[in-house]
Amino acid sequence: MITALGSVQALRVISRTSVLGFKGTKKSMPEIARELNVDAIVEGAILRSGDQVRITAQLIHAPTDRHLWAESYERNVRDVLALQGEVAQAIAREIRIQLTPQERARLGNARPINTQAYEAYVKGVVGPSGQAIESLEQAILLDPGYAPAYAGLGSRYYTLGLFGTLSPAEAYTHMKEAALQALEKDGALPQAYDLLGLVRLHYEWNWPDAEKDFRRALELNPNLADARHDYAHYLLAMGREQDSVVESRRAVELDPQSATLTACLGWHHLYASQYDQAVEQAQKAIRMNPNGFWAQLVLGWAYEQKSLYPPAIAAFEKAVELSRGRTISVASLAHAYATSGQRREAQQVLAKLQEQAARSYVPAYDVATVYLGLGDPDQALEWLEKAYVERSSFLVHIHWDPRFKGLRSDPRFRNLLGRIGLPQS
């Protein structure tokens, strides 16, 4: 339902992540509305009996808790997606939103779905990450024509590639294949265009097509918070760091309960040299989800730039624990050890990373950051060349990574930026 409503240009729709945060809450509708910054709330219930599903939906004027509209629908469970589009159109009519012909067509063209495939898809999208790929592949096997399952699979591969669980070649190849298959099934699926934009950005370094894909995703669903967030990454790579902060903030407005997006807003502040704002957003994200390692990383990076080494190291140590030893966390800790004068500790971590790199994939970008912290620009640049060859995910933001500011005047570094196609000023 959220996806269906989100495709309507005239509406601002809060994402599923933030909405689910209020499941089972005792808060009143006006309280929820204030926290989400919305005027209306759609409340619904689903009752399934065999092959039949009954959906009851009601529209509530949130500030006054006044019911504006309610309706019940009963359909075969295979038609649940079409039913969501039908309900979305009814809500648009009730609040006097004029749908465009394209919006009306998208909302009215949902295909029947294999119910077991849909259940596997939901499990793959919202369930434990360790079982996600298996669940999504099962959904595709059960219903090869269901485009969102391919997009969900591509999204999982993106996470694995971004943080170095898989090599960029493996992760982004799978990701692009999944995105293209999704578009083959549904040429108007915004999540698939968003995935393609990420491949163009992080792996192919195809800036014009990356922007085109992100814009197409947002054209199809302007309320897709992840696409806003990913477009912010593109803007940062292009040297538009202030614009990236604005776009990242828009993503948070669409998903205000997302600790990940809140931490990412802090990350964009960090790369715009706004360290106090970065700390503020990271701390907010940690309060929202104390178990998220990304917010700890952003907090540590910001503290490090403020030369507050003890809290930076504490944040990185927590990130290592929460991420179960991901190299991005380990390398960040080693960099902080080095810049705070604890060289022996940094060198010990570096030795372990190099041993690991001999056995399995370790992002060369992460190793380069440790050498830079140790004051060895030659070795840092040598590892950045390896990162260039493997197309490490974070390489597209290297010019704005504050840890590399000491290299910005080095001709070898500027040559690297030129080969990637990044701005040099």
Average pLDDT, integer, range 255-282: 97
Contact 294, 264 (CB under 8 A): yes
The dihedral sign for the CA sequence 21, 252, 139, 105: positive
Cα–Cα distance measured from residue 73 to residue 206, given in angstroms and rounded to the nearest whole number: 46
Checking phi first, is residue 42 left (phi over 0); if not, alpha (psi -120 to 50) or beta? beta
Residues 399, 282, single domain; the answer is yes
Picking from 120-124, 208-212, 243-247, which range would have the lowest pLDDT averaged per residue? 120-124
The dihedral sign for the CA sequence 185, 190, 193, 195: negative
Q: Is residue 235 part of a domain?
A: no
Burial of 118 (0-12, 13-18, 19+ CB in 10 A): buried
Cα–Cα distance measured from residue 374 to residue 351, given in angstroms and rounded to the nearest whole number: 13
Residues 16, 96, single domain; the answer is yes
Q: What is the 3-state secondary structure of 213-273?
A: HHHHHHHHCCCCHHHHHHHHHHHHHCCCHHHHHHHHHHHHHHCCCCHHHHHHHHHHHHHCC
Does residue 2 carry a pLDDT above 70?
no
CA angle centred on 202, ends 199 and 203, rounded to 5°: 65
- Computed over every residue of the chain, the mean pLDDT equals 91
Picking from 15-24, 30-39, 205-214, which range would have the lowest pLDDT averaged per residue? 15-24
Residues 107, 163, single domain; the answer is no
> What pLDDT, on a 0 to 100 scale, did the predictor assign at position 328?
97
Checking phi first, is residue 41 left (phi over 0); if not, alpha (psi -120 to 50) or beta? beta
Residues 176, 159, single domain; the answer is yes
Residues 274, 304, single domain; the answer is yes
Position 39 confidence tier, pLDDT thresholds 50, 70, 90: confident
> What pLDDT, on a 0 to 100 scale, did the predictor assign at position 4?
67
Q: Is residue 216 part of a domain?
A: yes
Average pLDDT, integer, range 104-122: 81
Residues 101, 160, single domain; the answer is no
Which residues are paired to 58 by β-bridges?
Answer: 43, 70
pLDDT tens profile 187-242: 999 999 999 999 999 999 999 999 999 999 999 999 999 999 999 999 999 999 99
Which of 222, 242, 272 corresponds to the end of one domain?
Answer: 222
Q: Is residue 35 part of a domain?
A: yes
Q: Is residue 233 part of a domain?
A: no
Closest CA to 320 of 328, 312, 311, 329: 329
> What pLDDT, on a 0 to 100 scale, did the predictor assign at position 1?
57
Long-range contacts, 374-380 (Cβ 8 Å, 24+): 374/338, 374/343, 374/346, 374/347, 374/350, 375/338, 377/406, 377/407, 377/410, 380/407
- CATH number for the domain spanning 26: value is 3.40.50.11830
CB atoms within 10 A of CB 395: 26
> What pLDDT, on a 0 to 100 scale, did the predictor assign at position 102?
80
Mapped onto helix, strand or coil, the DSSP state of residue 191 is helix
Furthest CA-CA distance within the chain:
68
Closest CA to 368 of 385, 384, 356: 384
Does residue 11 carry a pLDDT above 80?
no
Residues 102, 147, single domain; the answer is no
Which of 59, 77, 112 corresponds to the end of one domain?
Answer: 112
Does residue 88 carry a pLDDT above 70?
yes
Does residue 6 carry a pLDDT above 70?
no
Picking from 26-30, 159-163, 179-183, which range would have the lowest pLDDT averaged per residue? 26-30
pLDDT tens profile 349-378: 999 999 998 889 999 999 999 999 999 999
Closest CA to 5 of 217, 190, 218, 223: 223
Residues 284, 314, single domain; the answer is yes
Closest CA to 369 of 359, 383, 351: 383
> What pLDDT, on a 0 to 100 scale, did the predictor assign at position 415?
97
Mapped onto helix, strand or coil, the DSSP state of residue 59 is strand
> What pLDDT, on a 0 to 100 scale, did the predictor assign at position 59?
82
> What pLDDT, on a 0 to 100 scale, did the predictor assign at position 127?
78
The number of distinct structural domains making up the chain is 3
Residue 319 main-chain phi, psi, to 5 deg: -65, -40
Q: Is residue 160 part of a domain?
A: yes
Contact 407, 387 (CB under 8 A): no
Average pLDDT, integer, range 327-352: 97
Q: Is residue 129 part of a domain?
A: yes
Checking phi first, is residue 65 left (phi over 0); if not, alpha (psi -120 to 50) or beta? left
Average pLDDT, integer, range 340-345: 97
Mean pLDDT highest for which of 20-34, 76-90, 304-318? 304-318
> What pLDDT, on a 0 to 100 scale, did the predictor assign at position 83?
75
Q: In what order do the strands lie in the sheet with 40-49?
A: 40-49, 52-61, 66-76
Residues 178, 163, single domain; the answer is yes
Residue entry with tokens 């982004």: 172
> What pLDDT, on a 0 to 100 scale, did the predictor assign at position 79?
78
Residue 35 main-chain phi, psi, to 5 deg: -70, -35
- CATH number for the domain spanning 139: value is 1.25.40.10
Cα–Cα distance measured from residue 222 to residue 250, given in angstroms and rounded to the nearest whole number: 10
Does residue 17 carry a pLDDT above 80?
no
DSSP string, 117-144: HHHHHHHHHHS-GGGHHHHHHHHHHH-T
Position 336 confidence tier, pLDDT thresholds 50, 70, 90: very high
> What pLDDT, on a 0 to 100 scale, did the predictor assign at position 129?
75
Which of 85, 112, 139 corresponds to the end of one domain?
Answer: 112
DSSP string, 368-408: HHHHHHTT-HHHHHHHHHHHHHHT-GGGGGGGG-GGGGGGT
Residues 415, 270, single domain; the answer is yes
Residues 294, 403, single domain; the answer is yes
Residues 341, 391, single domain; the answer is yes
Closest CA to 202 of 247, 233, 170: 233
Q: Is residue 189 part of a domain?
A: yes
Does residue 104 carry a pLDDT above 70?
yes
Instruction: Determine the structural domain holding residue 33 and report its residue range.
Output: 1-112
Closest CA to 368 of 358, 376, 380, 357: 380
Q: Is residue 242 part of a domain?
A: no
Alpha carbon separation from 101 to 98, 144, 224, 310, 417 (Å, rounded): 9, 28, 20, 58, 44
Closest CA to 336 of 317, 356, 352: 317
Mean pLDDT highest for which of 89-93, 245-249, 255-259, 421-425? 245-249
